[in-house]
């Protein structure tokens, strides 16, 4: 797991996105790693807990874009697929062998600025 700072007494929090500072909003998920242990804080923001799947898939796509932009030779698609494969494998899904046909070619990619369908509490 990541360790940005060698000083264990300093927690390295991320800055708020500029859009949040300008327009407001609500933080629904915060993750941190302390001594190789994952800590999670979350707001039960949706009536249907299954909507978190949509949020997590959008997070995976955005992480794919971040890694691809910061690492030469990585594509957003490859990083996003690697994240998704690790996600489902962690739940015990069996790996699927590639058939040579791309199932993603049939579906248009979702835009990074996509708004999630959130239901009010």
pLDDT in tens, 28-53: 999 999 989 999 999 999 999 999 99
Name the phi and psi angles at 32, rounded to 5.
-150, 155
Which of 60, 51, 105 is closest to 83 using CA atoms? Answer: 60
The structure's pTM equals 0.68
Q: Give residue limits of the domains in the chain.
A: 48-93
Q: How far apart are CA 121 and CA 119, in angstroms?
A: 6
- 13-37: burial string, b at 16+ Cβ within 10 Å, e else: eeeeeeeeeeeeeeeeeeeeeeeee
pLDDT in tens, 45-81: 999 999 999 999 999 999 999 999 999 999 999 999 9
């Amino acid at each position: 797991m990541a360790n940005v700072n060698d000083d264990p007494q300093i927690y390295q929090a991320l800055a708020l996105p500029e859009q949040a500072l300008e327009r407001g909003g609500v933080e629904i998920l915060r993750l941190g790693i302390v001594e190789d242990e994952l800590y999670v804080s979350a707001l039960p923001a949706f009536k249907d807990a299954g909507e978190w799947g949509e949020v997590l898939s959008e997070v995976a796509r955005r992480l794919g874009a971040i890694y691809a932009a910061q690492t030469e030779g990585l594509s957003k698609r490859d990083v996003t697929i690697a994240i998704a494969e690790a996600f489902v494998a962690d739940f015990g899904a069996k790996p699927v062998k590639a058939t040579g046909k791309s199932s993603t070619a049939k579906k248009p990619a979702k835009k990074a600025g996509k708004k999630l369908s959130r239901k009010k509490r």
